Amino acid sequence: MYHHVKKLMYTVRVDEPDPKFGNMLLEQFGGANGELAAAMQYSIQGLNCEDPGRKDLLMDIGTEELSHLEIVGTLARMHLKPLKSVREEAAADPLIAIAGGGGVNLFNSMGNPWTADYLKITGELDVDLRSNIAAEARAKIVYERLIDFCRDPGTKDALQFLMTREITHMRAFALALESMGKPPLSVGRIAPTAGLVDQFFNDSTGQGDLGEVDTRGPWNEGEPWEFVEAPAFQDLPGAENGGTAIRAQSAPPEGAEAIQEVLVDELRDLLHAEKQLLKALPKMQKAARTQQLQTLLRNHLAETEAQVERLNECLRILGTSARAKPCKGMAGLVEEGEEVMAEGKKKEDAPADLALIGAALRVEHYEIAAYTTARNMALQLAQPAVAQLLTLSLGEEQNAGQLLDQVAQPLMSAARMPSSVLLTV
C-alpha cells in the first residue's frame, strides 16, 4: 500500500531557474540510472523476494527512491518553468516546451523515453543485490556530474542530499549481500568447470599503436591463475604450440581414487543422517507450538525426502551402491532433540519453540558442513553432476537455517511477555 504525503523528503529551493540545467536533471528523472528506474527495480525485486528480511529492505529503499523521484521532478519543474512563458527559453527545447508544456515527463536528458529495459531483475537475490550496488554507484556519479554543472546553491544542496543517500543504499545492499554468507564468486547453483575457471586467456596481444603492451597483475597472475598465452594462435600452422591448453574438460586430480573414496564415505554418512531426520522431523513438527515453525518443519521434511533421492543419485553417478553408513554425529543430535522435546512439554509455547529451533539449527549447521565438504570434493573430482546435486541440497539447508532464525525473532519477544499474554505468532 502506498500513501502520498504532501511533503518532500527534502525541501528544495531554486533561487535562479536554469532551463538547460533542468533538462540535465531529467537524466535522474527518466534516465537509465535515475530514480524511477531504481524505484521500479528494487520494488519489483522486492515483490519477487521470498526472504522476508531482504524483501523489507528492497521495499524500503524502493519506496524511498519514489520519494527521490518527487524531489528530482520538483527540482526539474522549477528549473524548466521559464519554458512556459519565455520564447527564447522555449526554443532551446521544443520537446519540453511544446509537447510537454514546460514540465517534466518520463524522458531522459536527450528526450529518450523511459523504458523497463533499464531494469536489472534476475530473481536471484544475490545477483540482484550486486546489480543494485552497481546501480547506486552509477547514480552517485551522475549526481556528482550534476553538482559540478550546477550554479544554484539550493539545487546543489538537494543534489548533495540525494547523492549521499546513494551511498547509504549501497552500504545497505552490500551488507545484505554479505549477510547471505555466499562467497563473492558463488553465483547460481551450477558449479563452474574446475580448472577452466582459473584460466586467464591472453586474447589481446602484441604492442598497440599508442604503446599499449601486455600487462600482468592480480587479475591474471598468482594463485590460482593459470595464464594461457594467445589461445587463438595455438593451432595455427607454424605457431609455437608450447602454450597451456584450454581446460575445456578438467582432468582428474592426482590421487583422484583416494578422494573419491572419501567422497563416497561422506555421501553414505550423509545418507544415513538424512534418513534419521526423516524419522525425527515429524516428531519435531508435532512438538512445535507455533504455526510458522510447524509449516517450516513440514516443508523441510519434503526437502529432506528429495535430498535422500539426490544422495542416492550421487552414489549411482559415482558407480557405487546407495548404502548408508551409520552417522553417529546425527544420532547424537537427534537424541539431543528428543531431550529438548521432552523438556519442552513443561514450558510455555515460546520458550519451548525457541529450544526446538536451537536443536534444529544445530542439525542444519551439521548438514551444511557435511554438504559443503562433499560438494567441494565433487568439484575437485570434476564431477559436475554430483556437485550440482549437492549444491541444491546445500542451498536448501542454508535456507532452512535462515528461516529458523527468522521464526525465532518474534519468539524472543514473546518469551519475555507475561504468561497471561496470548502468543499469536
Binding-site residues for Mn(2+) sit at: 35, 65, 68, 136, 169
Length of the chain in residues, anyone?
A: 425
For residue 72 the three cell numbers come to 528530482
CB neighbour list of residue 183: distance below 8 Å, 6 or more residues apart: none
Please give the torsion angle defined by the CA atoms of residues 148, 149, 152 and 156, in that order, rounded to the nearest 10 degrees. -40
Residue 311 dihedral angles phi and psi, to the nearest 5°: -65, -40
Residues within the annotated binding site for Ca(2+)?
A: 56, 60
For residue 153 the three cell numbers come to 546553491
The dihedral region occupied by 70, where left means phi > 0, alpha psi between -120 and 50, and beta the remainder, is: alpha
> What is the distance between the alpha carbons of residues 288 and 293, in angstroms, rounded to a whole number?
6
Residues within the annotated binding site?
A: 35, 56, 60, 65, 68, 136, 169
Q: Which residue has the cell 536528458?
A: 109
The DSSP-derived string for 126-143 is HHHHHHHHHHHHHHHHHH
SS3 state of residue 168 = helix
**Considering all CA atoms of the chain, what is the largest pairwise distance in Å, rounded to the nearest integer?**
88
The DSSP-derived string for 357-415 is HHHHHHHHHHHHHHHHHHHHHHHHTT-HHHHHHHHHHHHHHHHHHHHHHHHHHHHHHHH
